[in-house]
Each structure stands twice: as structure tokens, then as C-alpha cells.
Amino acid sequence: MKRPTHIMLGAAVAMPIAVSLSPGLALGAVWFGMAGGGFPDWLDLRSELRSPLRLRHRGASHGLPLGILLTIGVWIALRAASATTIDLGSLALHVPADAIQPWTIAFGLGFLSHLLSDAWTVAGIRPLLPIASFRFWIVPKVLRGRSSGPLDFLARFVAMCGILAGVVAYAMVHV
């Protein structure tokens, strides 16, 4: 899948979490879902850590062990940020304690959506790297596609439907 598709899927999987939250917390949940959805490709394609960590595309950055560690890291960072207020002159930033759990879950689900959508492609994923290197696909070979083209279009359509359904559900709950 292309990067915008992964980001949209991350937003879509965060929508069920966002529906029950206040507007600011809901927006944060969607943002963390989008961040989780884009993170594996950012880490191995765009990050300065790519070379020193010897990250290759769909390598360890696309594995469950790293996803779990990153999600735990997000939880730790949010918890630390909720314990203090960051003063930026005329702006004070504070993470509310009730944002920690939904934002962390949204990030983890976004990361997982990335892995699952890549598991629909011809290349599949190796979900247990660096522990084990077996490949995993969700669908039979005949249904697998390339990261671009019809499969990417279908994933974007599904993501857009999920986002739209989430926005409608949010409006119904909060009106």
C-alpha cells in the first residue's frame, strides 16, 4: 500500500475509539492512529535510523515485536507527558491522564493496520522479525496484489468508508 493509504487506514481503525471521546481527545486518537499507520514505512524508508539499524523495507520495522515495543514507548511517553505541563511561552501543553489509554491503543491499532494491509500484498510480511523470518499473507495467492493499483484503491475506499462511518457515529453520539 502507499503511504496515504496506510495513514487513512490508521485513521479508520482509530475511529471506534474516538467516537466515545471529547472532541480534543477524539482528534488525538485519530492522529495517533494515523501516526501508527504510517510509522513502519517512515522508520525504514525515511528515518535517519535506517542505516545505523540496517533497516530494510518490510523488515523488522514491519514486525509485531517492534510494534509492541513502540506502542509501549508511546504509552510511557504519554504517561510522562501527562505528569507535567510543557511551557512554550504563551502556550502550555498538557496531556490529560484520560488520553493515555485511547491514544496508545489508537497508535497500536494503526501500526497493526499497516501490517495487516501489507499482508494482502504479493510480498506479504514477516511479522515476527527479528525473532523468526517466515512470511505471512492474509489471503490466498490469487487474491494478493501489488502495493499500488487496484488493491491500494480498494484499501483507500475501505478506509474512507471507515472514516466516514466514524464521523457519522461521532456526530450521532455527540449531538
Residue 88 has a pLDDT of 82
Residue 90 has a pLDDT of 85
Could you give the CA distance from residue 138 to residue 136 in angstroms, rounded to a whole number?
7
| Bond from prior residue into 150 cis (ω within 30 degrees of 0) | no
Could you give the CA distance from residue 157 to residue 37 in angstroms, rounded to a whole number?
16
DSSP 63: S
Could you give the CA distance from residue 32 to residue 38 in angstroms, rounded to a whole number?
10
Question: Within a 10 A sphere around the Cβ of 38, how many other Cβ atoms?
Answer: 22
Mean pLDDT of residues grouped by 10 in the chain (175 residues)? 92 97 96 95 62 59 90 96 86 90 98 94 87 89 84 94 97 90
Residue of 93, 102, 47, 98 whose CA lies nearest to 74: 102
Q: Is the dihedral of CA 14, 17, 20, 21 positive or negative?
A: negative
What residues contact 28, with CB distance under 8 A and at least 6 apart?
99, 102, 103
Residue 92 has a pLDDT of 81
